[in-house]
Structure 1
Amino acid sequence: MTERKKLPSQRVTPSYNKLEKVYTPKDAVKKEPAQNTLVSARSLKRVVTVPNADPSVAWHTFAQRQSQLRHVRSRARKKPVKLVPRTLVQTGVRATNGRIQAVRRPLPYRSSIPRRSGLRLRRRSMIWKVVGAFAFIACLIAAINFALTSDVFRLHRVSVMGTHNNGLIQNVEHMGIQGQNIFLVDTGNIQARIQESPLVASVAISKQFPDQLTVTIVERRPAVLWQGPQGTFSVDTRGIVIAPVSQTPGAEQLGTIVDTTKQDAKTEPLLRPGTYLKNIDVAFASNVWQRVPKVAGIDTFKLYYDGTMYASTTSQTGEVAGSRGSYIIESPDGWKAYLGNSHDANSLDNRLKELSEIVKLARQQQMHLATIDLRYGLRPVFTLQQ
């Protein structure tokens, strides 16, 4: 039989309890007695060594650490809170011991309703609701009375914005608006009264609490000057007569249209500020004044209007058109050009281009023009002086 090799013995060391291998010489293994051959091969020899340090020293160190920790904890302790027995709210004092019973006060009157019944609470809540409603109504009446009668809400200032016309500003300020209550003032009536002026195009009124009213005015802008038998007046693009030429600022920069319509003295309408010129396209006339120098190249001319003349010789359907009035250009050279009006199918720029070509042709061929009729659409007609 083969002999099984024995493992080396181990021993415990004081540093971290590590096991150290203890080797025995091979000769010692061979000299073992024969009676040990029956011992199990797994049994090992244990060698215990006693450390040189005294174990009591480690114990004393642990005790010192425990006493030091207890000392630190005793220092960190807060002052103990004084415990006071609980008491009821009705007493208002601290109880010395135990719980104080609540003092039951007798009712000021005797009632047949039991104490625990809800009818008494309902009756009390209803009374408070009625009292609160009356108080709210009284406060509301007092507030309305203060708002309508107090001088705090009376108009003391009227601001007019959007215009520099001193006469118009004074008329608005002297309309009796000052002194009225700001809640009762009729802004619609004031707006209608201001808009009756021919100088005003639109009005907007706003209230500035507590005592100011702001009136914003948009003035009418004159487009042309309309000259008739009754005088010369400024007219806006809608055909509303604004004011006489003497009261129109910047009148020297506006073009003048002379009305040559022949009417009876009885049927002739009165021309004054605020009058509406019916069947007259003032915007077209203003456009003629601006486009003739640019398109036709004619800087000096006069513009007339004849309300009895046909606006065009033929309409778009080929039928004779009704009399709507025609604008006439008169040149310093002595010729007249009949433009028609805005209802013509041919555009104004096309008519002015035709006028420019005819004038150039007459100058090249040294012809003396008498009339140029541009109301025939794309076929203009001109006549020569005899």
Structure 2
Amino acid sequence: MPFPALTRTRACLLVAGLAATTAVAGAALPAAASPSPAPAHAAFSVRSFPAVGAETGPDDITRLGDSIYVTFQNGVGPMGEAAPSGATASTIQQYSLAGVPGRSWSVTGKVDGLTADPEHHRLLLTANEDGDSSFLTLDPARSSAATRYTYQGLTHGGGTDAISVSHGSILVSASNPTVPNGPAAYRVALQGGNAVLSPVLFDNSVGTSANAATAGKPVQLALTDPDSNTIVPRSSARFGGSFLLDAQGDQQLLFLNPSVREGAAGHGIQVLSVAQPLDDTAFATASRRTLWATDPTHNAIDEITGAFTPGEAVSTVTPDSGPTSLARLGLTDGSLTPIPGLGSVTPKGLLFTSGAHGEDQDEQGDQ
């Protein structure tokens, strides 16, 4: 769908912008603002696009075609409990690459996972991270509501969270485990009205250390908090093509071959320990160096352009106390280096794109 152009720029500061009205599912909402150019010396430029109407709590973010899609959780509880406001549904909000809000969809429950499936031109969603969880698909080109699937084979006792797609294979995080040594991630097969799950790895799987100081030593996992995930671009100097599962509270990043079944030869789980809990991690490539970040603190979506280099990994740091922040992730030692000039961004979900119109060719298929 065509969007009117919008330009709003800021340099390393969050600013208020765009008075917007509430989006109604299926309705296009144009918006406009006067440009405010960033100083020429700024290392980064940040454009901030606010939530539409009363929606709150932006989390996962993805790109499909020429649109960005964001899930706003609206205060709904982790098992779908009503928010203090009475809300029981999340909002999937569409934006153009210029930040103009488009259509929106109401989805019952707390939508934690959201990613694009370009091969089928659809969005994939999970609802309720702690329990009473379900899997959904949404075709933005149609006026129909999301299609909900019932899980079969969900054996870890909790819910599901982030989603990745690798060469047609759908992978989800097994969050909030309540069963000892259950699956930490599943592969999903959509069959009729069911989302049939098969384990990818377990909370007690054995891996090898990927930190330089302890490289190659065995690591006995005891995961308690599988959370975000992504596919590492093949162009990455390390872990290229791997499925990355973030065990947030355990302060471990797990890298493994997404096409190999758990326990098979070559599964090769590599464990990178980090000094602080992390949420999303995103990877810059030669073509994808525009970083999008959801910002629940300011109830906005930030588009960040500037000094990102191909191959670098950027993570959302989620300390036990204090605000979230952006940091460069060292893939050899798990180090976390704050990014100068972006201290005012309080991120959650992260996404690197090309920043240009047209599908990001390596966003899913070439990973």
Structure 1 length as normaliser, TM-score?
0.23
Higher helix share: 1
Return the structure number with greater relative CO, CA threshold 8 A, min gap 6: 2
Structure 2 length as normaliser, TM-score?
0.23
Higher strand share: 2
